[in-house]
Structure 1
Amino acid sequence: MGQRYYADPQRIEALTRQLEEIGTLATTITEEFLDDIGPTITWPGTEGDFAKKAKPQEQQERQTTKETMMSVRDAIVGITDATVNQVRMMKETRDRNVEGVDRVNKRLETNGLNGDGPGGHGRR
């Protein structure tokens, strides 16, 4: 016997809402981080040997950190969007199939199995 697959769209939607909250939080944290990092640009100093040596490393670390924060944010938002789209597609497929089964059942109730009247079973 083949495997059966079961999905609960309502439960997935509930979990997706949690993902959306996490995505919003990640976006907020990233925006706050990018806003707050600006004033620290002069921390290694602007003159002297230490500033000269530390500034390139600090700029590289700053850029890497920005890119990491934005990548994490984009990944969470992307996963959430994909999950929402999959749930929507799953529900549309389910609804379309349920409607198709209902149409066939109504046709059977009206015309019978072989078109021989209501409730007909096709035997003669």
Structure 2
Amino acid sequence: MGQVFSADVSRIRQWQNLMHDITEITENTVRDFEAEARACLDWVGRDDSMSEDLRPRDQKERETTTNTGASLMQAIGGIALALRVNGNIIQGAQDDAHEAIDNASGKSGKH
């Protein structure tokens, strides 16, 4: 007997929605981090040798953290998009199969 393919589109949609929610959470977290980081830019000082040494490292760490968060957000968003596309394809195949079964049973009276 051949292999059977089965997919639960509602579960795919649940995961898609979860990934979308996580994307929004990540986006908000990155935005909040950037706002909070701007609020404390002067913590390294302003005009002394220590601030001259720390400021570039501090700026690099802030940029790296922001870039990492943005990359994570894009990756999770990509997963949500892939799940949506997959769900649409599977739903379309299931709808087509159901329609074909309905058409065939309507003609023959059997299914």
TM-score by length of 2: 0.84
Q: Which residues of 2 match residues 82-101 of structure 1 at below 5 A?
A: 82-101=82-101
Q: Which residues of 2 match residues 44-63 of structure 1 at below 5 A?
A: 44-63=44-63
Compute the displacement of 1:100 (Å): 2.0
The answer to whether 1:11 aligns with 2:11 is yes
Greater shift, 78-87 or 95-104, is seen at: 95-104
Cα distance between partner residues in 1 of 2:10 and 2:97: 18
Compute the displacement of 1:2 (Å): 4.2
Aligned to 1:23: 23
RMSD, aligned CA: 1.9
Larger Rg: 1
Q: How many residues align?
A: 110
| Structure of greater relative contact order (alpha carbons < 8 Å, 6+ residues apart) | 2
Q: Which residues of 2 match residues 61-76 of structure 1 at below 5 A?
A: 61-76=61-76
SS in 2 for 1:3: coil
- On the 8 A contact 2:30/2:70 being kept in 1, the answer is yes
Identity %: 25
Compute the displacement of 1:90 (Å): 0.9
SS in 1 for 2:40: helix
SS in 1 for 2:5: coil
* 4+ aligned runs moved over 6 Å, structure 1: none
Cα distance between partner residues in 2 of 1:92 and 1:107: 23
* Partner amino acid, structure 1, of 2:43: W
Gaps of 5+ in 1: 110-118, 120-124
Gaps of 5+ in 2: none
Compute the displacement of 1:57 (Å): 1.1
For residues 34-79 of structure 1, the C-alpha deviation after alignment (integer angstroms, 9 at most, x for no partner) is 2111122222112111111111111111111110011111111221
More helix by share: 2
